[in-house]
């Protein structure tokens, strides 16, 4: 069975109404395979997407469109580990989509 998450893009439309992401330095926590990353990356100056599940990160990296390579970086890291090594002022915006489920 194929599962399509938000084919109408309601999630990203709601996000864009709530936050201006244009030119922002964005941290996406729990990016999974990049399902939301692709929708927001075109607006970001830089987007770092992290996830604790390595197979998801590998899948996301393999699907990274060439035009987004300068903007998007995927990193295999649990948020707790990442946060302990990252300065707090490194990002303008933090996005958590399904991470708290």
Percentage of residues in the chain having pLDDT higher than 90: 60
Please choose, from the candidates 39, 37, 21, the residue with its C-alpha nearest in 3D space to the C-alpha of residue 29.
37
Model confidence at 20: pLDDT above 60: yes
Contact call for residues 50 and 27 (beta carbons, < 8 A): yes
DSSP for 21-75, please give it.
-TT-EEEEES-TTSTTHHHHHTT-SEEEEEES-HHHHHHHHHT--GGGTTTEEEE
CATH 3.30.70.120 fits 21-96, yes or no: no
Q: What pTM does this model have?
A: 0.87
pLDDT in tens, 22-57: 999 999 999 999 988 988 999 999 999 999 999 999
């Amino acid at each position: 069975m194929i599962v399509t998450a938000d084919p109408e893009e309601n999630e990203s439309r709601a996000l864009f109404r709530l936050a201006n992401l244009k030119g922002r330095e964005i941290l996406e926590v729990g990016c999974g395979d990049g399902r939301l990353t692709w929708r927001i990356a075109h607006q970001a100056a830089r987007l770092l997407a992290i996830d604790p599940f390595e197979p998801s990160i590998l899948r996301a990296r393999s699907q990274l469109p060439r035009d987004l390579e300068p903007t998007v970086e995927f990193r295999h890291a649990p948020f707790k580990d990442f946060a302990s090594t990252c300065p707090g002022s490194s990002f303008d915006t933090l996005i958590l989509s399904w991470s708290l489920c």
